[in-house]
Amino acid sequence: PYRQSERVDLYRQHAAKLLAEGKAYKCFCTPEELEAERRQAQAEKRPYKYSRRCLIDPPKDRIEFTVRFKVPGGEIKFTDMIRGEMTFDADLIGDFILMKSDGFPTYQFASPVDDAVMKITHVIRGEEHLSNTPYQLMIVDALGYERPSAYAHMPLILAKDGTKLSKRKHPEANLVLYREQGYLPEAMINYLALLGWNPGTVQEIFTFDELVRVFSFERVQHAGARFDWEKLNWINGEWIRAMDDAELARRLRPFLKQLDEATIMRAVPALKTRMVKLSDAASLLEYLWTDPPSPTLDAEAIERVRAAAAALRDVAWEPPAIHEALMRVVEASGLGPNKTFMPIRLTVTGKKISPPIDYTLALLPKEVAMQRISSVLA
RNA sequence: GGCCCCGUCGUCUAGUGGCCUAGGACGCGGCCCUUUCAAGGCUGAGAUCGCGGGUUCGAAUCCCGCCGGGGCUACCA
């Protein structure tokens, strides 16, 4: 079982062992009493450590208790793969709680027990756990287990405000969000790898396999790194542009439920350089399933559309043929291409921004396109 | 408060005593390309290397102090 809630017996057994060996003891103090101790210490400007009153003189008339670890004191040393030799003074650490009064373990206890029982060799986690390591090491030692062979504490990913990412305050901590918006897993891995680590070369785009090959703990940063959406966006765009059309079409499917596969496939080349994330495709192609409002065009614009409509009537409905026909209209007009293209774009999509006009038209069934065009000519 | 970690362009970073008048990337500005928007190409601005003292012929790089930020310090994980 991997859930802590399904392994409570395991923690209870380990706690019982420590209790039996006198390496832990029951504490009957109430939260209020502990709070009072803490305030007292603060008032006297002395660092707080649990008083050990329940070790020295436990009350007889109480039943609810927690299990506290009897901190042996002394120096705790270990090697961190990123930061080197670490030494902590355990005399500064008060007896901490292993089992809560509800019978569940604290993280500080469950974590080292899990690591030992699961035979974890490398403990790689965020820097917020650096100061927790001595706590956990003391437990591993007290339990008589072998210590994990290596620890590595990675720099924190910080929010824009410079504090540790938290689910409450920072939406970017929520992984589901990225999938929903169409950030590619490849891009996420790529970006996250670059946050707090660098290869020592100018390469920025990495596949997972490449990362496995070049990653090294020696090159990971010691300072926290701020999460930067802009850079993620760029990397995601790079991955989108580099992806082959069929694969991109496949990934686009959940974001373009209104369209059939063939249409998505035909749209891909036009979409590719215009998306920062997959969800961007929807607004670009919205006109395919939603009739745009009819635009207000001046007389000249209407003339341009009229000329285009005539030229398109007998044309094969593919981007090259459409392009050719439209360019003839543009040349005949003696005006810039935009004078013709923009009014068409506006009538067909309702927007000033769209893929190139030949693609924009070709993606729409010819009848629908021609109907939208003729509606402004009436 | 105590303990721990950290401090180079706005951001991610290169840099381990001279190659640094501090390099790259994202973002930002300009130009080019152009059918709008992107993409692409070129180009520019942007960091007195947190501050102050040392050491040294020479320091972003070594030492000390200070300041600043973050983390841990819970019957959260």
In order, the DSSP letters of A259-312 are: S-HHHHHHHHHHHGGG-SSTTHHHHHHGGGTSPPPPP---HHHHHHHHHHHHHH
CA angle A105, A109, A112 (to 5 degrees): 135
Residue A167 bears catalytic tag = yes
Nucleotides of strand B lying closer than 7 angstroms to a protein CB? 1-8, 10-15, 24-27, 34-40, 69-77
Residue A188, token pair as written in the block: 């996420």
Cα Rg of chain A (Å, integer): 32
Q: From the CA of A206 to the C1' of B43: give the distance in Å.
A: 28
Helix (H, G, I), strand (E, B) or coil at A107: helix
State the sign of the Cα–Cα–Cα–Cα dihedral A334, A336, A337, A338: negative
Tell whether the model's pLDDT for residue A378 goes beyond 80. Answer: no
Burial class, A273, CB count within 10 angstroms (exposed 0-12 / middle 13-18 / buried 19+): exposed
Q: Specify the range with the lowest mean pLDDT, choosing from A140-149, A162-171, A324-333.
A: A162-171
d(CA A194, CA A209): 15
- ipTM of predicted complex: 0.94
pLDDT of A141 above 80: yes
Q: Which amino acid, A63?
A: I
Joined together, the tokens standing for residue A310 give 């005539």
Residue A1 neighbours by CB distance under 10 Å:
9
Give pLDDT, residue A46. 87
| Cα–Cα distance, A60 to A304 (Å, whole number) | 96
| B33 C1' to A330 CA distance, Å | 20
Q: Is the pLDDT of residue A303 over 80?
A: yes
Average pLDDT, rounded, for chain A: 94
Residue A37: the pLDDT is 92
Alpha carbon distances (Å) from A190 to A12, A90, A102, A148, A175: 41, 39, 42, 28, 15
Evaluate if residue A322 carries a pLDDT over 90.
yes
| Averaged pLDDT, A309-331 | 95
Q: A112 is written with which tokens?
A: 């080292």
How many C-beta atoms lie closer than 10 Å to residue A134's C-beta?
21
Q: For A277 and B39, how far is CA from C1' in angstroms?
A: 14
The residue lying closest to nucleotide B35, measuring its CA against C1', is A338
Lowest mean pLDDT: which of A51-60, A61-70, A117-126, A164-173? A164-173
Q: What is the pLDDT of residues A145-176, one digit of tens each?
A: 999 999 999 999 999 888 888 888 888 889 99
Q: Any residues with CB less than 8 A from the CB of A343 and at least 6 apart, and which?
A: A295, A297, A301, A302, A304, A305
**Token pair in block for residue A92:** 């500064």
With bands split at pLDDT 50, 70 and 90, how would you rate the model's confidence at A189?
Answer: very high
Q: What is the mean pLDDT of residues A82-95?
A: 92
Q: Closest nucleotide to A164's CA, by C1' atom?
A: B70
Give the model's pLDDT for residue A167: 82
Which among A45, A167, A257, A352 is annotated as catalytic? A167
